[in-house]
Structure 1
């Protein structure tokens, strides 16, 4: 699969960068037994925690993994704030602007991405502080803590409210360090193609359950009551792991095949499938049958397929060749010739081929990087089912 040689960090086949969470490496939601729920005061954190990934702690501190940033893009979390119509309009304007500046970072150097993303997340916090009423701010802080899972006990605000003793702090940090060391080992196992990934997943869930018990055991009864107040009422919507990220509109530059100038705004109300490709890329060509199959399957439904041809080689920069190859491939859907990489960069794309699904409101909802049938993965089935889900919304 083609990917720029300058790419310095990975991107997952997800709901958007690997800054959020990946389909292939995604673990199922944490499940706690009723016995654990009875024993642990952290039930409202752990039992409702989102789909966890086996990641190194350093990655979790990156700005795109900030629970605050993630929850801003989770509709159920936004709904929990009960925004007024005026607030809602302002909220979406602010978030959409941030998204359109955030997405291009996905194919920048790691250093630039970290620096700019950190600035954008800080800006988001500042603007939400102004937009939300005090009660809404408090609730959102509670959602963030619940989203953090076990890590919430080491959060500065929780530590200050519970007033840990020096001994307690040392014990909590030791439990956390031991757990993270085990997580790193599990991640290595996840990357081992010969390893049973489901077994690793179960081991990971057990690891967090054990961590939970140990952490709670350090707290006094008074601190457990205080913790309940800090984290607030359990938020059932944390299981909703579908980020909504504003998709940039198609750039005005570039020629269109099979269509006049298109915009995502005029396609609102339809599910839009966007695939980036280059006609000389064999991995892209192997995806062609599925685009044609989707085109036929959904021809009488509100689905629009759009190809964006972004060249890598000099031969792929010839627009006549792009048109000829599109005709040979039997593409009867719109194709945008993206010679100057305007769209490639606006979308932060980094790999040929890449497929994105845009919902009826113009938000990114799913992303598959690479061949849809790569090494036994069934990305075609996954993306087709997702298209059907978006149609039903």
Structure 2
């Protein structure tokens, strides 16, 4: 009898966890798709000292990836981000990897140089760029911005790269 009660409780807990996960996924999906918002008018400061205004990227599809060298998921996804950039750059994709304010500049520079990151890597030393993009605090967070400067997708965590590639192909063809 006690085994049946324990089994029933376990099933109820599992059902509740599944329901909570479904609700969480729905909320994240809704928030990421609700109303295309214009990307903020920021200027990125690259590790090479270049100033890159968001306005200068208009006419291109842009990925803005907030990351940190101390973020395990960021480091894990970076080779796939490089592959994605290399696959679509000739079609008009641009990419800015924005290091979080708490990430030491020398770590970011070392990481970018040793991994030969082929895209712009920016430092957000004061956290202003992250604040402008909706106060980004979780890494990785990636924004896909269309040619007109509208945010068309926000990913928190590692994206499904097959779905990301489909989205990029659609945005690049528009």
Normalising TM by the smaller chain, what interval? 0.7 to 0.9
State the partner residue of 1:322. 108
Is structure 2 residue 143 aligned with structure 1 residue 356?
yes
Pairing 1:146-157 to 2, within 5 Å after superposition: none
Contact 2:43 2:52 in 1 (8 A): no
Is structure 2 residue 153 aligned with structure 1 residue 366?
yes
State the partner residue of 2:133. 347
Match among 86, 90, 95 for residue 300 of structure 1: 90
In the superposition, relative to structure 1, how do residues 321 and 192 fare at CA in structure 2: closer, same or farther (>3 Å)?
closer
Structure 1 runs of 4+ off > 4 angstroms?
A: 186-189
SS at match of 2:97: strand
In the superposition, relative to structure 1, how do residues 242 and 387 fare at CA in structure 2: closer, same or farther (>3 Å)?
farther
Deviation track 1:109-151 (CA, whole Å, cap 9, x = no partner) reads xxxxxxxxxxxxxxxxxxxxxxxxxxxxxxxxxxxxxxxxxxx
State the partner residue of 2:20. 191
How far has the Cα of 1:289 moved from its partner? 1.2
Contact 1:258 1:332 in 2 (8 A): no
In the superposition, relative to structure 1, how do residues 187 and 333 fare at CA in structure 2: closer, same or farther (>3 Å)?
same
Q: Distance in 1 between matches of 2:70 and 2:34?
A: 34
Q: Distance in 2 between matches of 1:392 and 1:296?
A: 17
Contact 1:258 1:333 in 2 (8 A): no
Contact 1:251 1:342 in 2 (8 A): no
Q: Distance in 1 between matches of 2:96 and 2:21?
A: 36
Equivalent pairs counted in the alignment come to: 150
Contact 2:95 2:120 in 1 (8 A): yes
Match among 162, 169, 173 for residue 381 of structure 1: 162
In the superposition, relative to structure 1, how do residues 257 and 188 fare at CA in structure 2: closer, same or farther (>3 Å)?
same
In the superposition, relative to structure 1, how do residues 192 and 386 fare at CA in structure 2: closer, same or farther (>3 Å)?
closer
Q: Distance in 1 between matches of 2:156 and 2:168?
A: 16
Match among 37, 49, 59 for residue 245 of structure 1: 37
Deviation track 1:33-73 (CA, whole Å, cap 9, x = no partner) reads xxxxxxxxxxxxxxxxxxxxxxxxxxxxxxxxxxxxxxxxx
Q: Structure 1 stretches of 5 or more lacking a match?
A: 1-185, 198-240, 373-378
In the superposition, relative to structure 1, how do residues 187 and 245 fare at CA in structure 2: closer, same or farther (>3 Å)?
farther
TM-score by length of 2: 0.77
Deviation track 1:51-100 (CA, whole Å, cap 9, x = no partner) reads xxxxxxxxxxxxxxxxxxxxxxxxxxxxxxxxxxxxxxxxxxxxxxxxxx
- In proportion to residue count, which structure has more helix? 1
Match among 35, 40, 59 for residue 269 of structure 1: 59
Q: Structure 2 stretches of 5 or more lacking a match?
A: 1-14, 26-32
Larger Rg: 1
Question: How well do the aligned residues superpose, as a CA RMSD in angstroms?
Answer: 2.4
